[in-house]
Amino acid sequence: MKRWMYFTWILLLMVTSGGPLLAFSGEGQNEPNEAPKKFDAGKFIMEHVMDSHEWHIMKIGQTEISIPLPVILYTKEKGLSVFLSSKFHHGTKPYNGYMLAEEGPHEGKIVQANTNGTINETAPMPFDISITKTVAAMLVSLLLLLLVFLPMAKKYSKNTDKAPTGFQALIEPVILFVRDDIAIPSIGLHRYEKFMPFLLTAFFFILTNNLMGLIPIPPGGANVTGNIAITALLAVFTFAITTFSTNKNYWKHIFDAPGVPWWLKFPIPLMPFIELLGVFTKPLVLCIRLFANILAGHFIALSFIVMIFIFGQIHWIAGYGSSVVAILFYVFMTMLELLVAFIQAYVFTLLSAIYFGMAKVEEHH
């Protein structure tokens, strides 16, 4: 009986995973006299991890199924332009003097177009404040956090003497973990409270977006924490809070560190330069670590899916055969990414707390 169950399970994996081969292998997508299109693995992966002006769901033959997002542009000549990204017809047509660049240095970005539908190379880039996939996913995660924590905070204020129940009982141990195992040991018992709002916000924001990025359907599937602009902004917040929480002894230890030989400080300020450089490299490490780990996880997971399409172009049997192995590795990688989602939220919060703790230095005697 178990053998039949295993056989049925493998067959189901082959059928469900092999279906998309027709959509990407070039079969059924070309004109009768047109050569089969070769599957571009790199382009496929980059389209799924990079930001875009529409939320792609699937492609069936020549039909693209996606959720259009608001496009908000401004130029001096045309003023403010607001419309949905569906007006571009998935980047195939210009609209209102704008178009999506499909290649070149501005690939994936909105540029000004000529009347014949080509890119206007002489026109300046429009000021783009559109709601892209990353922004939309970030707003959804923020709304989700507000819907969870605002009622929870209200419940805490009304029932201060009662034990937590329901979802509150699930979240409270995580909050206590951030307080007792991250904030207090890193910052100190007398200073940690004022940093808790940021630490909790950063932890749950990163964790929520990491987990939503693993969900293959909207509003999940966006690579928010794998976007360097998002991780850079989080690192800037950490840098700003660290800088404005310092005291004079902190800067004294940077420019005139005690115990360092004078010839390393004067006349050539080698140590002050290294210490000052460390002030900026610390938030840079926060930015790169989170961005690189999340992006690499998506790259590896999608690489297994890409194997199905590559082998499917060789022969349909090879496509179906490789789909079993590819999906098994994809499931394993997804489980690993689930662990990484928690680890990266923990590491970013821990390092931020350590930097906050280092910002206040006691006077050296």
**Do 125 and 138 belong together in one domain?**
no
Task: Establish if 32 belongs to a structural domain.
Answer: no
Nearest 5°: phi and psi at 66? -155, 165
**Do 123 and 222 belong together in one domain?**
no
173-205 burial code (b ≥16 CB/10 A, e <16): eebeebeeebbbebbeeeebeebbebbbbbbbb
pLDDT band at 22 (very low <50, low <70, confident <90, very high): very low
The tens digit of pLDDT for each residue in 84-95 reads 988 888 778 888
The structural domain count of the chain equals 2
**Do 98 and 196 belong together in one domain?**
no
Task: Establish if 49 belongs to a structural domain.
Answer: no
Query: Which of 107, 130, 153 is where one domain is finished?
Result: 130
**Do 249 and 140 belong together in one domain?**
yes
**Do 116 and 165 belong together in one domain?**
no
**Do 99 and 187 belong together in one domain?**
no
Query: Which of 83, 98, 130 is where one domain is finished?
Result: 130
- Return the percentage of the chain with pLDDT > 70, whole number: 84
Query: Which of 106, 130, 154 is where one domain is finished?
Result: 130
The tens digit of pLDDT for each residue in 120-178 reads 888 888 998 999 999 999 999 999 999 989 888 888 888 777 777 777 888 889 999 99
C-alpha distances in angstroms, 247 versus 241, 251, 359?
12, 7, 7
DSSP code, position 216: S
The tens digit of pLDDT for each residue in 220-274 reads 888 899 999 999 999 999 999 998 888 777 777 776 666 666 666 666 677 777 7
Would you state the pLDDT for residue 24?
39
How many residues are present in the chain? 365
Domain interval for residue 234: 133-358
Query: Rounded distance, CA 209 to CA 163, Å?
Result: 29
**Do 88 and 193 belong together in one domain?**
no
Task: Establish if 29 belongs to a structural domain.
Answer: no
pLDDT at 319 exceeding the cut of 60? yes
The tens digit of pLDDT for each residue in 331-348 reads 898 899 999 999 999 999
Task: Establish if 60 belongs to a structural domain.
Answer: no
**Do 121 and 139 belong together in one domain?**
no
Q: Stretch 24-32: mean pLDDT, rounded?
A: 41
Q: Stretch 1-6: mean pLDDT, rounded?
A: 43
What pTM, to 2 d.p., does this model score? Answer: 0.82
Q: Are 326 and 307 in contact (CB under 8 A)?
A: yes
Task: Establish if 344 belongs to a structural domain.
Answer: yes
